[in-house]
Amino acid sequence: MQIYLDNAATTKMSKTAINAMLPYMNGVYGNPSSLHSVGQRANEALADARERVAKLLGCGANEITFTSGGSEADNQAIVSAARIGEKSGKKHIISTAFEHHAVLHTLNKLAKEGFEITLLDVHENGIILPEQVADAIREDTCLVTVMYANNEIGTIQPIQEIGKICHEKGVLFHTDAVQAAGHLHIHVKEQNIDMLSLSAHKFHGPKGIGVLYARKGIRLSNLIEGGAQERGKRAGTENIPAIVGMAAALEEACGHIDEYAEKVTALRDKLIAGLSEIPHSILNGDAKRRLPGNVNFCFEGIEGESLLLLLDDKGVYASSGSACTSGSLDPSHVLLAIGRVHDIAHGSLRLTLSDENTEEEIEYTIGAVKEVVEYLRGISPIWRDLVSGKKEFIIK
Ligand SMILES: *Cc1c(COP(=O)(O)O)cnc(C)c1O
């Protein structure tokens, strides 16, 4: 058995996306800036992909910038808003404690430049309240950046309401929608979003390509200097095959978004129900207001890394949190943000599904996790202390 349950880290490319890309690797390999016909055909594909992506997000083609992925889009959105803000002396930014590191590390850099950063606390259910944002906005706030859905615990944020508050107060609103795009409905105008980041490899498109949507009138700052590509805001020859593949993948995902959600949610809830039977376990994040494919648990008395290795032996590919932090021994900042203590946060398991998973795979996975948790607890000195009453259980 090989069961891939790490779709929040990356997804398998769809056949539609691969097939859409092939002609631009085999035949139409021109540089879109070239004036000859093979270049112009590439340029047409670029314009067409931009139109299609814009339509799916509910914006204009001139509001779309192609980037190397979600991280670059997050960086450029935040730095641009900061540069706009500082021109009028506004150097305060609001975000949350459980953002992706592409957001948090960019904010750290701005803090060193003298920006003041407010990171909102996250309630135990993993959802930010619009009132928290309203209360934190000041005269000198230039940007609010709150993710659409969290990459570790999958919780969905009330971004439309947050955007509305920002607009009433004249503050720019950015959302990292990397986990949401292709999985949840997006309409930037209706949802009051000024800037949005997405990444193709999280919705069955290619890696290394993403989008920064920025509402018309918002002046973007360059992260990369050079040629005049992307209206002069992002230099470098465009990755045409990836851009075309991303447009195809997003179209496909948005075309069956409700069916996908229905199927994957059913699998998710079955998995949650099965894992909840494990004693001294807890689901991280709200049980319902979460991404269709996200399951995240903590098991007391367990070390997440050993859990992953033993599951790998059984053919179950999972994660303990974000792929970016695994490898380090620090517990997840997301789990700490929702109030899990260090010992508990260390025993976390993230399983993220796609519509390729089957009920059979979910049943197998439930059995495998139960077995591995039991085995690891059997050899754990901490577990012995908990069972003998020497230490008190944190998860009842
Ligand atoms: C994956 C991810 C990113 C980074 O996207 P890349 O395309 O891998 O750079 C940013 N934010 C969130 C929420 C993500 O899940």
Distances (CA, A) of 26 to 22, 30, 91, 235, 392: 6, 10, 48, 24, 63
Nearest CA to ligand 1 atom 14: 178
Choosing from 203, 221, 255, the residue where a domain stops is 255
Q: What is the position in ligand 1's atom list of the atom closest to the CA of 71?
A: 9
Helical segments of 88-121, H only: 101-112
221/344 same-domain check: no
d(CA 218, CA 88): 14
> What's the confidence (pLDDT) of residue 328?
56
Pocket test for ligand 1, best of 76, 99, 176, 196 (most atoms within 8 A of CB): 176
35-67 burial, b for 16+ CB within 10 Å, e for fewer? Answer: eeeebebbbebbeebbebbbebbbbeeebbbbb
Amino acid at 219: R
Residues spanned by the domain of 340: 257-388
d(CA 111, CA 105): 10
Distances (CA, A) of 366 to 182, 282, 316: 27, 15, 10
Pocket test for ligand 1, best of 147, 179, 204, 319 (most atoms within 8 A of CB): 179
Ligand 1 binding residues, C-beta < 6 A: 69-71, 74, 100, 102, 147, 151, 176, 178-179, 199, 202, 210
**Neighbouring residues of 335: CB distance < 8 A, sequence distance ≥ 6:** 152, 153, 284, 298, 321, 344, 345, 348
Backbone φ and ψ of 176, nearest 5°: -80, 105
Q: What is the pTM of this model?
A: 0.96
91/205 same-domain check: yes
Strand, helix or coil for residue 280: coil
d(CA 368, CA 372): 6
213-228 burial, b for 16+ CB within 10 Å, e for fewer? Answer: bbbeebebeebeeeee
Amino acid at 173: F
DSSP label at residue 326: B
pLDDT tens per residue across all 396 residues of the chain: 899 999 999 999 999 999 999 999 999 999 999 999 999 999 999 999 999 999 999 999 999 999 999 999 999 999 999 999 999 999 999 999 999 999 999 999 999 999 999 999 999 999 999 999 999 999 999 999 999 999 999 999 999 999 999 999 999 999 999 999 999 999 999 999 999 999 999 999 999 999 999 999 999 999 999 999 999 999 999 999 999 999 999 999 999 999 999 999 999 999 999 999 999 999 999 999 999 999 999 999 998 889 999 999 999 999 986 544 445 567 899 999 999 999 899 999 999 999 999 999 999 999 999 999 999 999 999 999 999 999 999 998
Q: What is the position in ligand 1's atom list of the atom closest to the CA of 323?
A: 1
Pocket test for ligand 1, best of 151, 243, 250 (most atoms within 8 A of CB): 151
Choosing from 234, 255, 276, the residue where a domain stops is 255
Q: Are 92 and 220 in contact (CB under 8 A)?
A: no
Q: What is the position in ligand 1's atom list of the atom closest to the CA of 202?
A: 1
Strand, helix or coil for residue 35: coil
Strand, helix or coil for residue 117: strand
Here the CATH number for the domain that contains residue 219 is: 3.40.640.10
367/335 same-domain check: yes
Q: For the chain, what is the domain count?
A: 2
Where would I find the beta strands (DSSP E) of the chain?
A: 3-4, 64-67, 92-96, 116-120, 141-145, 172-176, 195-199, 210-214, 281-283, 294-299, 316-317, 348-352
Q: Which residue of the set 142, 254, 298, 324 is catalytic?
A: 324
286/163 same-domain check: no
Choosing from 217, 237, 255, the residue where a domain stops is 255
Residue 8 lies in a domain: no
Distance 323 CA to ligand 1 centre (A): 10
The partner residues of 171 in beta bridges, in order of sequence, read none
d(CA 147, CA 96): 8
Q: What angle do CA 231, 237, 239 make, to 5 degrees?
A: 105
99/204 same-domain check: yes
Residue 349 lies in a domain: yes
242/277 same-domain check: no
> What's the confidence (pLDDT) of residue 324?
47
Q: Are 298 and 395 in contact (CB under 8 A)?
A: yes
Nearest CA to ligand 1 atom 6: 70
Here the CATH number for the domain that contains residue 310 is: 3.90.1150.10
Residue 119 lies in a domain: yes
206/309 same-domain check: no
Reply yes or no on whether 142 is catalytic. no
d(CA 217, CA 200): 25
Comparing CA positions, the residue from 14, 10, 48, 42 lying closest to residue 27 is 42
